[in-house]
Amino acid sequence: MRSGLGRQPREEMTAESVVEILDLFTAELEAWLDGGWAVDAALGEQRRVHDDLDVVVRLGDVERLIDVLGRSGFELARGRAPKSFELVDDRGRQVDVHPVAFSASGDGVYLMETDEYWIYPARGFAGEGRILDRLVRSLTPEVQLLCHTGYEPHRQSYDDVWALSERFDLPVPDEYRAPRETYSLRYA
């Protein structure tokens, strides 16, 4: 398998790799961190090992993103715009891309694999964080919490949600109120 959790080859997405990859395309297009690296950027520290880098980009910038990362060895491995897709390089580093079309109100409209729409609220695109010494764009902690709802939580999600909630004094979503031990270990 070329992409996903069991891909071969597979290389951890380190902080150095995140900065390197962001440097490849942020001069040419806007992107916001999502997922685990968005959480760690908001918290200003790497708290765990990361399998990939999740980014949200404008649907209209997808071809440019694929071209820019392609010049550095990343290839489309799974999926296709307008839905999410994965780019992987020869080392096994993976970038998960979530394309959005922006509404008139500034919300990011994302077409999920189920053909349902997920709405990233406009206020969520104002986030910032730090990776190493670099200031990066990311979804706000409030919207990151929203992104962690609507699915069966796993251990990493639980840890991410509680870390964001505690650091930014945000309410913990109801589905994360059970004790940590009750969450799946499949991503631990």
DSSP letter for each residue of 75-99: EEEEE-TTS-EEEE-TT--EEEEEE
11-20 pLDDT, tens per residue? 899 999 999 9
Separation between Cα atoms, residue 127 and residue 157, nearest integer Å: 19
Cβ within 8 Å of residue 19, ≥6 positions away: 131, 132, 134
Residue 143 β-bridge partners: none
Task: Give residue 9's pLDDT.
Answer: 86
Taken in order 131, 133, 137, 138, is the CA torsion positive or negative? positive
- Average pLDDT of 161-185? 82
Delineate the domains of the chain, giving CATH numbers in brackets: 15-140 (3.30.460.40), 148-188 (no CATH)
77-94 pLDDT, tens per residue? 999 999 999 999 999 999
Separation between Cα atoms, residue 179 and residue 37, nearest integer Å: 24
Please give the residue that has the higher pLDDT: either 157 or 60. 60
| Rg over CA atoms, the chain | 16
Residue pointed to by tokens 């930014």: 168
Residue 151 — pLDDT band, cuts 50, 70, 90? confident
The pTM is what?
A: 0.91
Separation between Cα atoms, residue 119 and residue 110, nearest integer Å: 6
86-137 pLDDT, tens per residue? 999 999 999 999 999 999 999 999 999 999 999 999 999 999 999 999 999 9
- Helix spans in 5-50 (H): 15-25, 35-43
Task: Give residue 27's pLDDT.
Answer: 86
Task: Give residue 179's pLDDT.
Answer: 66
**Three-state secondary structure call for residue 55:** strand
- Weakest mean pLDDT among 1-5, 26-30, 40-44, 48-52: 1-5
Task: Give residue 24's pLDDT.
Answer: 93
CB-count burial class (<10 Å; 0-12, 13-18, 19+) for 118: middle
